[in-house]
Amino acid sequence: MRVLDDFDFTPRRIEQNEELDAVAWAENHGWMVRKMQYIGRKSCPDRLFAGYGHLFLIEMKRKGKTPSRDGKLSAGQKEEFERYAEVGVKVHVFYTAEDTIAFLKDQMPLV
């Protein structure tokens, strides 16, 4: 059987894998990480990262093959994250574990 020329063999990483890679790294480097979920509401950020005197709300999105296909915030998430912003809290959105880890490293004291 011949494989079609337009078949894409690029390995895929689902959002959950990226999220769990970031969580594993963070927990192994002194961060406390909690999965977040609202009761009776939608659009909660994925995780709370606490450590080194900081608390961060982080939303992980799936990276697409092109920027136009990257995971987008839903209308509810945009609205909810704006509510956080109104009270001075930023929800950080990342597409890869690597970006999340780089952000967390920047928040850690130099030793």
| pLDDT tens string 38-68 | 999 999 999 999 999 999 999 999 877 666 6
For the segment 11-17, the average pLDDT, to the nearest whole number, is: 61
What's the pTM value of the predicted model, to 2 decimals?
0.80
Give me the pLDDT at residue 17, please.
86
Give me the pLDDT at residue 5, please.
65
- Give yes or no for residue 4 having a pLDDT over 90: no
Cα separation of 49 and 53, whole Å?
A: 11
Q: Provide the CATH number for the domain formed by 30-107 in this structure.
A: 3.40.1350.10
Instruction: Provide the angle, in degrees to the nearest 10, between the axes of the packed helices 15-28 and 97-107.
Output: 30
Cα separation of 111 and 100, whole Å?
A: 20
Residue 50 per-residue DSSP state: E
- Give yes or no for residue 21 having a pLDDT over 80: yes
Domain positions in the chain = 30-107
Tokens at 74, concatenated: 């839903």
For the segment 87-104, the average pLDDT, to the nearest whole number, is: 96
- Give yes or no for residue 3 having a pLDDT over 70: no
